[in-house]
Amino acid sequence: MKIDILLGLQWGDEGKGKVVDVLTSKYDVIARFQGGPNAGHSLEFNGIRHVLHIIPSGIFHKEKMNIIGNGVVIDPIIFEEEIDALIAMGLNPTENLQISKKAHLIMPTHKLLDAAYEAKKGKSKIGSTLKGIGPTYTDKTARTGLRICDLESPNFEEKYQNLINQHKEILDQYHFDYSEVLPELDKKWKAALSTVRKFKFIDSEYEIYDYLQEEKTILAEGAQGTLLDLEFGAYPFVTSSNTIAAGAFTGLGLDPHYAGKVIGIVKAYCTRVGSGPFPTELFDQTGEQLRAQGNEFGATTGRPRRCGWLDLVALKYALMINGVTDIALTKADVMDNFDSINICTAYKVNGELTSRMPTASDAVIEPVYTTLPGWKEDISKCKTYDELPQVFKDYIAFIEKETNTKVSIVSVGPDRDATIFRD
């Protein structure tokens, strides 16, 4: 029995939530392996859009188990809001959601530290979602963090208060005034713990191993995207976790021998929120059109997303690092009315042509484009691959030839039903 891994191959928001929801029917268990409420995973069915931040995107399938892995960081306040929304829909998430005892908790002061650090950076800010992600993972690596299992400790209150005091000292150094916001946040945070405590805390590594012995199928769900990975993104304009396939092994405690398919989600164009390099970014009318037609506004922060053409240099890098076996292509329908479509096939860095990603985040990159014709047809109603226009199939064939990877899934709209499987 194998564990398949699903993850984003660009800068996040590729449509992971939608594809996980669609694929959930094929699996017994959906397990989120990293990130936290910086993620916003949207999915749609019966005409209603749902956005998940911490909870795996398989939660709407009542008979499927969902796991929040040890690699995830949890803000109890946001978790409670998500759970309340699910309960209001008539779901009973305590029955099909479990949390790793080793997952770290985002504390109220982590969020304030995020704000203080970003404010200090001024123009060179990362554009963080300000959900406390960086400071929480910092405490994790500094070995000072608070974990879900600490909620069961008699010393929890003391551990919590000690860490809050340490954070206050740092906030003081940054002249960050927390006197008004912290008491309220602290109260809300503690109250939200009662919701967290309703869930079963597990050792996800044992649990997943047991599932595998029972021949159960598991889908590991990633957050963010490969180009935001702590190691391989354009550092420092990255998030603080490993968003790549390797992150699934550490974020869930998997035996690599069980790795099955790696499904890479690719948006037909690129978007990015926050700062950092974006070689194919468009500042013109076409960029505006992608933003408007693609509804490219952050699912977590509402910020307008930067938009640009598909970048095959970056995509090939992501395919290589993740060992992607299958591409799920999303949002090509957004370009239905485009006369022509550009795809970046190489970079010029300092006048030299290259197919490699530069490491320096300040490298001046000039994208080299191949122009393909637009298909100029509404593909959003197509139900089978055969129904798709030939020009669009040629566009897919071009991507497959360039990347040497099969496009196995084509998403043609936000709804569950707007999905074409090629096999």
Site residues for ligand GDP per CB under 6 A: 8, 12-18, 39-42, 44, 295, 299, 330-331, 333-334, 411-414
Rule CB under 5 A: choose which of 43, 77, 290, 299 binds Mg ion: 299
Token pair for 235: 């550092």
Rounded Cα gap, residues 155 and 22, in angstroms: 43
Cα 91 from Cα 169, distance rounded (Å): 42
Q: 3-class DSSP state for residue 270?
A: strand
Residues 6+ apart with CB under 8 A from 411: 15, 18, 19, 22, 328, 329, 330, 331, 418, 419, 420
126 binds ligand IMO (CB under 6 A): yes
C-alpha span between 201 and 7 (Å, rounded): 25
Of 33-52, binders to Mg ion (CB under 5 A) are 40
128 or 195, CB closer to ligand GDP? Answer: 128
Is 41 known to be catalytic?
yes
Which of Mg ion, ligand IMO, ligand GDP, none does 15 bind, CB closer than 5 to 8 A by kind?
A: ligand GDP
Q: 124 vs 165, which CB is nearer to ligand IMO?
A: 124
Indicate whether 133 belongs to the interface with ligand IMO (CB under 6 A).
Answer: yes
Cβ(261)–Cβ(274) under 8 Å? no
Q: Which is nearer to ligand GDP, 17 or 253 (CB)?
A: 17
d(CA 114, CA 174) in angstroms, rounded, equals 11
Q: Is 131 exposed, middle or buried (0-12, 13-18, 19+ CB in 10 A)?
A: buried
Amino acid, res. 287: G
**Cβ(226)–Cβ(122) under 8 Å?**
no
Q: Is-contact 219 30, C-beta < 8 A?
A: yes
Number of residues counted as binding ligand IMO (CB under 6 A): 24
* Smaller CB separation from ligand IMO, 121 or 348: 121
Q: What distance in Å separates the CA atoms of residue 68 and residue 102, rounded to the nearest whole number?
A: 10
Q: What are phi and psi of 260, to 5 degrees?
A: -110, -120
3-state DSSP assignment of residue 415: strand
HSE of 349, CA atoms in CB hemisphere, 13 A: 15
Binder of residue 131, out of Mg ion, ligand GDP, ligand IMO, none (CB less than 5 to 8 A by kind): ligand IMO
Q: What does 196 interact with, of ligand IMO, Mg ion, ligand GDP, none (CB < 5 to 8 A by kind)?
A: none
Q: How many CB atoms within 10 Å of residue 416?
A: 18
Q: For the CB of residue 16, give the shortest distance to ligand GDP in the complex, in Å.
A: 3
Residue 127: name its binding partner from Mg ion, ligand GDP, ligand IMO, none (Cβ under 5 to 8 Å by kind): ligand IMO
Active site annotation includes 114: no
The single residue of 4, 13, 21, 311 carrying the catalytic annotation is: 13
Q: Which does 331 bind (CB under 5 to 8 A by kind): ligand GDP, ligand IMO, Mg ion, none?
A: ligand GDP
Cβ closer to ligand IMO: 334 or 382? 334
Min. distance of Cβ 51 from ligand GDP in angstroms? 7
Three-class secondary structure of residue 171 per DSSP: helix
Shortest reach from residue 276's CB to ligand IMO, in Å: 6
Catalytic annotation, pick one of 4, 21, 28, 41: 41
Does 128 bind ligand IMO (CB under 6 A)? Our answer is yes
Query: Contact residues for ligand IMO (CB under 6 A)?
Result: 8, 11-13, 35, 38-41, 126-129, 131, 133-134, 223-225, 228, 239, 273-274, 299
Instruction: Note the residues at the interface with Mg ion (CB under 5 A).
Output: 13, 40, 299
Catalytic residue numbers read 13, 41
